[in-house]
A and B are shown apart, each in its own frame.
Chain A
Amino acid sequence: MSQRTGQSSVEDKPVGQKPVIPETPAPEEKTYQDTMRKFWFAAGIAVPVLLLSLPDYFPTLREMMMGWHSAASIAAALLSLPVLVWSGGSFFMGAWNSFRNHNANMDTLVALGTGSAWLYSAVYAVAPSLFPAEAAGMFFDVAVIVIALVLLGQALEAKARGQSSEAIKKLLELQAKTARVIRDGKELDIPVEQVQVGDSVLVRPGEKVPVDGVILTGESALDESVVTGESVPTDKRPGDSVIGASLNKTGAFTFRATKVGKDTALAQIVQMVAQAQTSKAPIGKLVDVVSGYFVPTVVILAVLAFLVWFNLGPSLNFAVVAMVTVLVIACPCALGLATPMSLMVGVGKAAQNGVLIRNGEALENASHLKVLVLDKTGTITKGQPALTDVLPLADYNAETLLTLAAIADRRSEHPLAQAIVQGAADRGLVLAEPQSFQALPGEGVQATVDQKTIFVGNAKLMTNQGIDLTALSTLTERLADEGKTPMFVAVDGKAAGVIAVADTIKQDSLIAIRTLQQMGIEVVMITGDNQRTAQAIAHQVGITRVLAEVLPADKASMVKTLQQEQQKTKGLVGMVGDGINDAPALAQADVGFAIGTGTDVAIEAADVTLVGGNLRSLVYAIEISRATLNNIRQNLFGAFIYNTLGIPFAAGVFYPLFGVLLSPILAGGAMALSSITVVTNANRLRSFVLPPLTEVKP
């Protein structure tokens, strides 16, 4: 049986339209059950072995037992052997296999610790005369209980790890299982895997949209929270796009499938999250180095502890206890799990809230941001400019001016030009075709209408064409101060009037920007718009630093300048943008945030994609990044401190001061607990919620 679970450009095998499920999560439940069976066996045997070992703890009891003590020791040895072989067999096999490959891991430590404790005790049980009198004492109970505790730790850890990868499972569960397609006029219920691009698909109220597409007929409100994290339903009508796995709330509609299988937004998101969860965060680099040397170092320390106490200690037993305790207290797992566990939970949690973080490095950088550059159009504002004012000079009336400008702008794809054309259409004006048309990037358009040469565009265009704007200067300043973008119209080389277009500020922009500032981040606005308009918008949302009249091509160099400013303090600069125009700046920034709109999320080249399309999710992205990084720090700190304090304690470093040596049983328990603690701490991130943003009045 063969199952493809990813995507490839190499078409060497047939590929079905199956939704992509990147690596199914490990079957932690089976691991848990297998390990628990072994644990219960070890725990059950531990009781009689402990009872048989009591004489070792109470010399009076040993004296009372006299000849029976030796028999009890042999019984304990025989009873504990199956625990080592069956319950602890995987440790010994794992240790042996690692050893053959010149590797050492946690199995090595457990196997060496419990194996040496058992062997020492077995030799003593059979031939006590070989040992000096003060060496009396055996450790069968230590071997059995340590194995039981480590197994219990592994089982609980497997369970907790299952929860850590829950985010992807939850995302996958959201897919529709079947789709109702219309083929040859008939409605057919087919598995979602069989839907093809171009199929007409019917969705009724309460059903899930099976794949991505565009509405053909019908209207409805869709809950797209699965992808955007935004639970308020979005109204959809013919021509609007729909995202697979979103929930149809109200009306029935049909749509044409445009993306199926591995190409759907959800499949891309799942793929991206799975990849991000495997990535590394720079903060974990030290651990990577340490973990390569960790286990052999611990073995060396255990040998040294034995030698020191063998030479200077009270008894041979003492040296053996110190050695075994060092071996079983050290926990490479806690170190190894510290970063990836938190990253897995943090990235998954973010995805559930419409924030797609590309990798661990992006997450770490996002938590260190000092400056955030926000693109104005489409990021702070809705990016849907609308016509607001038509102000002609004396020779023209408003209708003529708007008609001329709209005809000139008809063939332009620029959003401002489109706003003028739409405004003219809304006012019922009839628009002819221009006789000629030329787009002038960064300036506006030139067209011929009724044998007249028309220029529509910004002040730079007019200046370049030598058109005098003195008569319009007061009007223009007023419009710009209101946050509107003035577009000049010139006819046959003379100014004819000014048309204003304005964008609407997104509902969340003000509150989100204020929150970012309270978080200690300097927010900078960047725009191609003129200085006055930019200042007016910036003022409305509480931004003081504005980079206006920046051509798309110059945005990246502006970001670079800001990065150079931050060099002294090593602060990082993030850039938030929404379009292809912003791509170089997003790439230049330390963290590029793309404001996505659902279906094209996965093709974004940014470090972080804000699927919801609002600035509140930007705050969420930075807060979850900070929370995740804090969580990683706690885990790393805990794991390092645990090992750096635990190992010397186990080795008996504090014995001369306090006269106590750690019991190997306690050490085994601590070891099991330390990796559970790391995983549990990482799982705390699952309950992360964004604190309510402080309401502010504009």
Chain B
Amino acid sequence: MNTLQLVINGLGLVFIAWIVWYFWLWKGESVQAALSDTGIQEIDITVQGGYRPAEIVVKVGQLVRLNFTRRESSACSEEVVFPDFGLRAHLPQDQTVTLEVTPNKPGEYEFVCGMNMLRGKLIVQEEKAEDLRPLSASNYALQKHS
């Protein structure tokens, strides 16, 4: 094996290790949704090759307003689906689409693109007992065009 081969092979193996780290081992940060005076938890999510932020921490039993804005033309991200809440929304480019859910159980609820490639997570955490409000299982989609 000559030097060129050694270099190419070495680079190839380093590249593979880097792929494993970059796509699988890297952990993004979770972001807490902002809580308004009216008790609504709200967060803006940019859709561009993924969801930013991709992990959103919210409190159980309170309305969560998720404002999705898709900043790309790629067809991959044109839909967002919340399988646990039975919600599917089309995300027109450069428009904000708001989805509202009221998670009534703590846990992790995934949201994905229409083909299951892009993933985000709604992390629903328990509130302190004295903060709990009556629970609602309802959810709805609200669409606005900016």
Contacts and interface: CB of A to CB of B under 8 A. Distances in A.
B16 interface: yes
Contacts of B71: 97
A154 to B, nearest CB: 6
Nearest to B82: A278
Interface residues of B, number: 59
Interface in A95-111: 95-107
B48 A97 contact: yes
A304 interface: yes
Contacts of A274: 86, 88
Nearest to A339: B116
A185 to B, nearest CB: 38
Contacts of A104: 23
Given A10-B100, A102-B26, A303-B15, A93 B72 contact: yes
Interface string A336-359: 110010000000000000000001
Nearest to A104: B23
Nearest to B118: A103
A6 B115 contact: no
B106 interface: no
Nearest to B22: A102
Interface stretch (A17-25, A426-434, A642-650, A681-689): A17-25
Contacts of A8: 100, 138-140
Given A23-B141, A100-B49, A340 B114 contact: yes
Interface string A3-39: 1111111101000000000111111000100010000
B72 A275 contact: no
A107 B49 CA distance: 9
A1 interface: yes
Interface residues of A, number: 66
Interface string B45-73: 00011111010000000010000000111
A304 B115 contact: no
Contacts of A22: 141
Given A7-B138, A101-B52, A25 B115 contact: no
Interface in B64-93: 71-79, 81-83, 86-90, 92
B144 interface: yes
A306 interface: yes
B80 to A, nearest CB: 10
Contacts of A292: 119
A231 to B, nearest CB: 30
A277 B23 contact: no
Given A12-B38, A96-B49, A291-B116, A107 B74 contact: yes
Given A275-B86, A277-B88, A278-B81, A103 B140 contact: no
A311 interface: yes
B9 interface: yes
Interface in A282-316: 287-288, 291-293, 295-296, 299-300, 303-304, 306-307, 310-311
Most interface-central of B63, B82, B88, B145 (chain A CB within 10 A):
B88
B125 interface: no
Nearest to B88: A278
Contact of A154 (B23, B75, B82): B75
B5 A311 contact: yes
A287 B112 CA distance: 13
Contacts of B23: 102-104, 295-296
A4 B144 CA distance: 8
B136 interface: yes
Contacts of A463: none
A694 interface: no
A3 B12 contact: no
Contact of B74 (A2, A93, A337): A93
A677 to B, nearest CB: 15
Which of A107, A299, A306 neighbours the largest number of chain B CB atoms within 10 Å of its CB? A107
A5 B8 contact: no
A307 B16 CA distance: 11
Contacts of B19: 296, 299-300, 303
A286 to B, nearest CB: 12
Contacts of A291: 115-117
B132 interface: no
Nearest to B1: A311
Contact of A101 (B15, B49, B89, B102): B49
Nearest to B25: A102
DSSP class of B's interface residues: helix, strand, loop or mixed? mixed
A136 interface: no
A332 interface: yes
A333 B115 contact: yes
B34 interface: no
B9 A97 contact: no
A106 B118 CA distance: 11
A105 B117 CA distance: 6
A280 interface: yes
A300 B15 CA distance: 8
B16 to A, nearest CB: 5
A279 interface: yes
A295 B117 contact: yes
**A97, A100, A107, A292: residue with the most chain B Cβ atoms closer than 10 Å:** A97
Contact of A98 (B38, B49, B102): B49
Contacts of B32: none
A306 B40 CA distance: 53
A10 B102 contact: yes
Contacts of B87: 6, 23, 275, 278
Contacts of A300: 16, 19-20
B117 A332 contact: yes
Nearest to A291: B116
A560 B76 CA distance: 44
B143 A99 contact: no
A380 interface: no
Contacts of A278: 81-83, 86-88
Contacts of B16: 300, 303-304
A96 B92 CA distance: 20
A396 B142 CA distance: 69
A310 B90 CA distance: 45
Contacts of A473: none
A336 B115 contact: yes
A528 to B, nearest CB: 32
Interface of B: 1, 5, 8-9, 12-13, 15-16, 19-20, 22-24, 26, 28, 38, 40, 48-52, 54, 63, 71-79, 81-83, 86-90, 92, 100, 102, 114-119, 136, 138-145
A-B pairs with the 5 shortest C-beta distances? Answer: A97-B49, A101-B50, A94-B74, A6-B140, A275-B86
21 contacts: A4-B143, A6-B87, A7-B140, A8-B139, A9-B136, A23-B88, A25-B90, A90-B73, A97-B50, A100-B50, A102-B28, A103-B119, A106-B115, A107-B74, A291-B117, A295-B117, A300-B16, A303-B12, A310-B9, A311-B5, A340-B114
Given A90-B73, A107-B49, 8 more contacts: A4-B142, A5-B140, A9-B138, A10-B136, A26-B90, A99-B49, A278-B86, A280-B83
